[in-house]
Amino acid sequence: MYEGAVQDLIDELGRLPGVGPKSAQRIAFHLLAAEPADVEQLAATLLRVKNEVKFCSICGNVAQAEVCRICSDARRDPAVICVVEEPKDVVAIERTREFRGRYHVLGGAISPIDGVGPDDLRIRELMVRLRDDVITELILATDPNLEGEATAPYLARLVKDMGITVTRLASGLPVGGDLEYADEVTLGRAFSGRRRIE
């Protein structure tokens, strides 16, 4: 146990996700040795994040304004919506530069174990968008895990009679990976999703 503020900082850092007691201690002593201006800036940014960051009223992504950069960008195709679980998924997809439509951030996936039902996600807001705008394709890009795989067919069923094409991201072998190291579910998906080479 350290004296006073150092121990308080170690305790508070240790509560952050992925930061164990050893890293909390390491970070605390790093900050203790750092320039006061740097630490003040970190503290100020923490407060700014809570005060400034909003969630886009259309897609639910993090935003600086009422509407996020992507939703307010007229060059993005308004007829295609890609549904993701979290804001970080938007960033991951944007990095591919493969997608020119807009997003809808659910805020998670259906998970009975964690007590997350459809009403805890931004599904109602998605249905409003599908009803009000002219949407031709809905891409379901929830995570390829248990919760994401359960959420995708749930959404597909809701949208069934609306005349919208519903697609799901392909599952298969990761590019650059070795076939022998792929788990059997991924390898099975790669087989069932195999495509003819023209």
Interface residues with its own copies (CB under 8 A)?
1-6, 8-9, 12-13, 16-19, 23, 25-32, 36, 39-50, 52-53, 62-64, 68-69, 86-88, 91, 94
- Min dist CB 46 to its own copies, Å, is 4
CB nearer to its own copies: pick between 52 and 128: 52
In the DSSP assignment, the letter for residue 134 is -
Min dist. Cβ of residue 54 to its own copies (A): 9
Cβ proximity to its own copies: between 68 and 135 the closer is 68
Separation between Cα atoms, residue 111 and residue 118, nearest integer Å: 9
In the bound state with its own copies, the residue whose beta carbon lies nearer, of 30 and 157, is 30
Residues sharing a CB contact under 8 Å with residue 133, sequence separation 6 or more, in sequence order: 78, 79
Which residue's structure tokens are 């009223």? 57
Number of other CB atoms surrounding residue 197 within 10 Å: 4
Cβ neighbors of 82 (< 8 A, separation 6 or more) are 93, 99, 101, 102, 103, 104, 139, 141
At closest approach, how far in Å is the CB of 141 from its own copies?
Answer: 18
**Shortest CB 8 distance to its own copies, Å:** 5
